[in-house]
Amino acid sequence: MSTENTSGQEQEKQATPMSTAKVFENGPVRLIGPCEVQLPDGTTVIKPNGISFCRCGASSNMPFCDASHKTNGFQSK
């Protein structure tokens, strides 16, 4: 039986679950599961159940999706 020594950083990587992102056709990008979002002004937002990011550019709550894509004719390419 062999054992491997791993650095603390490698152990932390292994303990952190991988995030999943889903890109919706003609809609947002959804991060599934708990996440932490750092905004351009330095604010950190914790989203324990995931978050959707706007792709259409029309959200009044950027960078988050507010479902504007449903009424503005956004088409993903």
What's the maximum distance between 2 C-alpha atoms anywhere in the chain?
A: 61
Nearest to 67 by CA among 27, 24, 33, 32: 27
Whether 12 is in a domain gets the answer no
Question: One digit per residue, pLDDT tens: the chain, 77 residues?
Answer: 444 555 555 555 566 778 899 999 999 999 999 999 999 999 999 999 999 999 999 999 999 999 999 999 999 98
Inter-residue contact 22 to 30 (CB < 8 Å): yes
For 3, other C-beta atoms within 10 Å of its C-beta total 5
Domain that holds residue 65: 18-70
What is the tally of structural domains in the chain? 1
Q: Is residue 5 in a domain?
A: no
pLDDT of residue 2: 43
